[in-house]
A and B are shown apart, each in its own frame.
Chain A
Amino acid sequence: MDQEYYLELSENPVQFENASSVNNVFFDEANKQVFAVRSGGATGVVVKGPEDKSPIAFRMDDKGEVKCIKFSLGNKILAVQRTPKSVDFTNFIPDFPHLEFSHECKTKNANVLGFCWTNWNEIVFVTDQGIEYYQVLPDKRSLKMLKSQSINVNWYIYCPETAVLLLSTTVQGNVLQPFAFKNGTMSKMPKFEIELPMVPKPAKISLSERDIAVSTIYGQLYVMYLKHQSRSTNSSGAEVVLYHLPREGAFKKTHILKLNTTGKFALNVVDNLVVVHHQSSQTSIIFDIKLREPDCAVNVHQPVLPARSIHPYKIPLTGPTAASVPCELYSSSWSVFQPDIIISASEGYLWYLQVKLQPTVNLLQDKGKLMDFLLRRRDCKMVILSVCSQMLDGGEKGNLPVIATVFDKLNQVYKEYLEAEQAYTVALESGPSRFSSSYKRPVRTQAVIDQSDMYTHVLSAFTENKDVSHKFIIAVVMEYIRSLNQFQITVQHYLYELVIKTLVQHNLFYMLHQFLQYHVLSDSKPLACLLLSLESTYPPAHQLSLDMLKRLSTANDEIVEVLLSKQQVLGALRFVRSVGGHDNVSARKFLDAARQTEDTMLFYTIFRFFEQRNLRLRGNPAFNPGEHCEEHNSYFKEVFGEQTLMKSAAV
């Protein structure tokens, strides 16, 4: 059971003083900072973010209850809202006047619902009557209006990642108007309507901000709508509806996540997975919107895995007794922020939600689906490799087709990466001019599992495994090679060696022969040499190796060596001549070989050949001292007599 918790809270949470009557706690999603404001700041403000170890602490005068408090990006300027009309600012930039200054919203009798920093010095006021976009001028201690837009607002949601602001408008509040901010400019995006389960009469606000979350999934901005509906004949309980907001163009309702239950829910997005927490059952479920390729406009998703609770968490007690108490999960005091943050104000903890992949392996039986799932996760490599190993050693019936699909999925990703790589290098070569700017080096994610990964972590161990039949081993390796070929990935030599090794170990030379015959094992010098080394046990290897060297067409020297070593001196000579190299080969090499055969006739022939060559090249049949053929010369004389030496005058 324990290994089945696939969600967990981060090891070291951000701790802060828990909320109380004297201590208000605020969370800024933009900087992911927690503000602990004791008695309106008079007794101090402590700001804790995930990165900065040393919390920022300061005081400010208590000018009334703090509604909202946020740093601009980089903690340059602090903004605090205390009244419904105005927001106060304080410079935190070194050697800038530290004095607080205040700014009122322009719109008459509008109430500021809140504000959000879009930059270190740009801020948006959201009022019930519209939005005002300002640039803060810390030195002048004043704000400059950049843009404003009047529109009735019920509530708003800001997505810091994309700097997109969503406004809930209309009476029912289900028409969402997004704005995008980018250094000083504000662009209005097409508004869209969230389909409500039922339209209330008379119209009243019926879409609460609690049921809407905004987050980027797979690099795209989505609005997630938690659609409550009682389970009934026509509905399987609540569902999450995803609306896709493209940077350009109209929004689209793209995904429906089936929750198959009702009750209180909270949403997170972790590693591009949508996590839905269900409070009453104290469990969570995850969805991967990519797991089903979009066939229809909206596609419906079931949870990837069965619902499981978050991994139990213990809160270490401070003080002498180093004991720890279990933390209550899914407590009502939890508040959940996008993308992956869970805060328990009552206990003063901020956690990041994390996905553990190992447990998913056993929960997801369909290996193909499992691979699709894992390949999209961040830290998937080792898990995937372990899945492969386990899959191979398992060796249950009908496994090969599964293995094949798994290999294909891996190599699909592998291939895509290689192509990106290649396109990139091509772009670079084609001159830095326009490409290099637009092209950035493709990132190699963990999902890219190449041949050496496969070899070192899976295959090498697998082929050593004595309990597995060699038949299966060969089948698997061939399957992998097949898959690589299918994606036109050049197979690495060591994989071929693996095949050959296995075949040779079991004397399956005829199989090997057939593989080579159909060039399944691609040609290479190392492979050719490997074959040569097999000749003693399997003579045909000699021919196979020669053929390979021939096809390589860059291995003529090797061929000559091979032939000479087999005492096929004449053959070697004829080959050299056929490739037109006979004018520069070393006469000595051939004469030596001829001598070793102890076939005087052969020696005579070879000797004559080179006499001819010398004559042709230098007009004199005699050998040059440089050729070191003296001993052969004298041997020739000794065997066939002085007079048999070719006379330069002969021709």
Chain B
Amino acid sequence: MAADVHNKGVTWDAPNGSLVPVDRLRSERSDSPTPGLVQGTEPGAGQEHAMFMHAQSFEDLAAESESNPDSDQAEDQSVLGESQEASEKEGEEEEQRGGAEPEEEQKDQPEENQKQHQKQKQEVQTGVRGKEEDVTSEAWRRHRKHVFVLSEAGKPIYTRYGTEEALSTTMGVMMALVSFVEAEKNIIRAIHADGCRVVFLHKSPLVLVGVSQSSQSDRELSRELQYVYYQIVSLLTLTQLNHIFQHKQNYDLRRLLAGSEHLTDSLLRLLDRDPGLLLNAVMSLPLSSSARDVVSTSLQAAKAKSLVFSILLAGNRLVTLVRKKDQYLHHMDLHLLFNLVGSSSSFREGEGWTPICLPKFNTAGFFHAHISYLEPKSDLCLILVSTDREDFFNLSDCKRRFLERLRKRSAYQALQEAVQTPTYPVSQVGIPELWHFVYKSKSSGLYTSPELPVPYQKEEEHERLIGLYRYLHSCLHHPTRPLRSVYRCGDTENLFAWVSTITTAAFNKQV
């Protein structure tokens, strides 16, 4: 995928100099992550206020519209502040890898074919992205969650199921509804029918519509639409988007996004299955603090003039994140990066170099990401985010230096082993008949969750489980009637969730 963007030779340049007050002073590099959670202290908690100020200024920079009902300030702030502390943490959960399973047979294929292959792969993965799917069929309707993206001219940009062409009229109607309501100085939010709801999100120049058969709340749905919005922005930048549509009102954006649909597809799958996106948090790889320190310092050492963020991933888990002073990486941006890596196998073929916009950071400009796996077969993936699009070889060099240090400090071995056992069984926490749980530390923006017990490993059960967490989450964080705790005893499981000033957790236990 990275290659695709390259080939297309997209050369919109964003005046993003503003982002790089480069500072070389090592001392001013961020410290290695504090192992806060392990000791049960919540360093972030005290800083919330400070973070708040910063968040404000950040929001201005990102030109984020305040009016958005779904932007959960508190969450954002804490996470913004805390992502720096991405740190050692007990216990993770095995997460389905989106499109990231190794595909040897693709090894020696020329990049041109990648796109084609990606497509096929997506079809295999989602099983439903059949272009030939009949949009009037019952089967099409019965999909649990539809997502549509269209331009303000009503032109289809994306649909999760079926083809955009087939849906152009439907999308036309959607646009009509949106603009009709807006003509009354009003904003359309949602339509409800029994067991089905349609949620609208207008983020100029795009209109996003979600249709859900599940009991998911409007808020959650519209949050997910935002993710999709940022996914698209991350490919083009908002500036570019606006530019395009100012210039040509009914431009068919698919021409630009062609081949990137699978990114959105896999993002939606993540949303269905990864509590992280629900909780605005990430999960980190369990690793001894010493080992993690080594990794972090090694990564810090491998610095470059324009290098802003250095991120080491193991699958969908964060190993460590190093950032320039005063530069904060929003969990959303982080998830977009995860998604980018997770949904394309091409980076396994070597070092990838792709422009990417991190919309929560700045919707106006492109970063340039150097993405590569430490070894073809390993899950360890290094992302180096630079502001300079000519920086490929510098970063490639950074990687080399990082690896050297790692090996020298013989932390590599520890890392390898950690990757082998990324999860832990729920029984480890020693609560009898506890089936599953999710725990988030607001202060660190990290969450943990044990591996899925057997009954939840089936895909639909897995998504049902996430659905339950989603339900609990939206109960707890109701905008006007938030709750301290929720207990629900149903036919299959007993759920319990509570939020304290600093933590959110959801248990899931059968009595």
Contacts and interface: CB of A to CB of B under 8 A. Distances in A.
| Physical contact A–B (CB less than 8 Å) | yes
A600 B454 CA distance: 11
Nearest to B490: A570
A602 interface: yes
B510 interface: yes
B492 A605 contact: yes
A612 B433 contact: yes
A641 B454 contact: yes
A640 interface: yes
Interface string A561-572: 000000000100
Interface in A563-622: 570, 600-602, 604-605, 608-609, 612
B491 interface: yes
A650 B427 contact: yes
B491 A644 contact: no
Contacts of B493: 605
Given A570-B491, A608-B510, A612-B433, A601 B455 contact: yes
B492 to A, nearest CB: 5
B463 to A, nearest CB: 13
A601 B464 CA distance: 12
Contacts of B510: 605, 608-609
Contacts of A640: 454-455
A650 B432 CA distance: 9
A600 B455 contact: yes
A602 B491 contact: yes
Given A641-B454, A644-B454, A608 B433 contact: yes
A604 B433 contact: no
Q: B interface, by DSSP: helix, strand, loop or mixed? A: loop
Q: How large is the interface on A (under 10, 10 to 19, 20 to 34, 35 or more residues)?
A: 10 to 19
A651 interface: yes
Contacts of B491: 570, 602
Contact of A601 (B432, B433, B492): B492
A636 B493 CA distance: 18
Given A570-B491, A601-B461, A605-B492, A651 B455 contact: no
Question: Contact residue range for chain B?
Answer: 10 to 19
Interface string B416-434: 0000000000010000110
Nearest to B492: A601
Contacts of B454: 604, 640-641, 644
A582 to B, nearest CB: 12
Contact of A651 (B432, B461, B492): B432
Nearest to B432: A651
Nearest to A573: B511
A570 B432 CA distance: 19
B26 to A, nearest CB: 49
A650 B426 CA distance: 12
Interface in A350-364: none
Interface in B432-475: 432-433, 453-455, 461
A272 B32 CA distance: 116
A526 B198 CA distance: 51
B432 A604 contact: no
A641 B455 CA distance: 10
Nearest to B510: A605
Interface string B497-510: 00000000000001
Given A608-B510, A640-B454, A602 B492 contact: yes
Contacts of B455: 600-601, 604, 640
B146 to A, nearest CB: 26
Most chain B CB neighbours (cut-off 10 Å) among A570, A601, A612, A644: A601
Contacts of B492: 601-602, 605
Contacts of B433: 608, 612
Contacts of A609: 510
B314 to A, nearest CB: 25
Nearest to A604: B455
Nearest to A640: B454
A597 to B, nearest CB: 10
A650 B453 CA distance: 15
B424 to A, nearest CB: 15
A601 B435 CA distance: 12
Contacts of B453: 644
Interface string A618-651: 0000000000000000000000110010000011
Contacts of A608: 433, 510
A514 B422 CA distance: 62
Contacts of A650: 427
A142 B236 CA distance: 148
B118 to A, nearest CB: 34
A570 B510 CA distance: 11
A612 B435 CA distance: 14
A315 to B, nearest CB: 90
Nearest to A651: B432
Interface in B333-388: none
A3 to B, nearest CB: 72
A283 B1 CA distance: 125
B269 to A, nearest CB: 22
Nearest to B453: A644
Contacts of A644: 453-454
A641 B458 CA distance: 13
A279 to B, nearest CB: 92
A604 B436 CA distance: 15
Nearest to A577: B511
A605 B433 CA distance: 10
Contacts of A651: 432
A340 B116 CA distance: 122
A605 B490 CA distance: 12
Nearest to A641: B454
B431 to A, nearest CB: 11
A614 to B, nearest CB: 14
B81 to A, nearest CB: 40
Interface in A243-300: none
A612 B510 CA distance: 11
A563 to B, nearest CB: 12
A459 B454 CA distance: 63
A651 B427 CA distance: 10
B429 to A, nearest CB: 13
A601 B456 CA distance: 9
A604 B461 CA distance: 13
A562 B432 CA distance: 31
B468 to A, nearest CB: 12
B46 to A, nearest CB: 40
B426 to A, nearest CB: 12
A601 B461 CA distance: 9
Contacts of A641: 454
A608 B435 CA distance: 11
B507 to A, nearest CB: 16
A650 B510 CA distance: 16
Nearest to B427: A650
A602 B455 CA distance: 10
Contacts of B432: 651
A612 B511 CA distance: 10
Kindly name the residue among B453, B461, B492 whose own CB sees the greatest number of chain A CB atoms within 10 A.
Answer: B492
A308 B491 CA distance: 81
Which of A604, A650, A651 has the most B CB atoms < 10 Å from its CB? A604
Contacts of B461: 601
Nearest to B455: A604
23 contacts: A570-B491, A600-B455, A601-B455, A601-B461, A601-B492, A602-B491, A602-B492, A604-B454, A604-B455, A605-B492, A605-B493, A605-B510, A608-B433, A608-B510, A609-B510, A612-B433, A640-B454, A640-B455, A641-B454, A644-B453, A644-B454, A650-B427, A651-B432
Given A600-B455, A604-B454, A641-B454, 14 more contacts: A570-B491, A601-B455, A601-B492, A602-B491, A604-B455, A605-B492, A605-B510, A608-B433, A608-B510, A609-B510, A612-B433, A640-B454, A640-B455, A650-B427
Interface of B: 427, 432-433, 453-455, 461, 491-493, 510
* 6 residue pairs, one from A and one from B, having the closest CB atoms: A640-B454, A644-B454, A604-B455, A601-B492, A605-B510, A570-B491
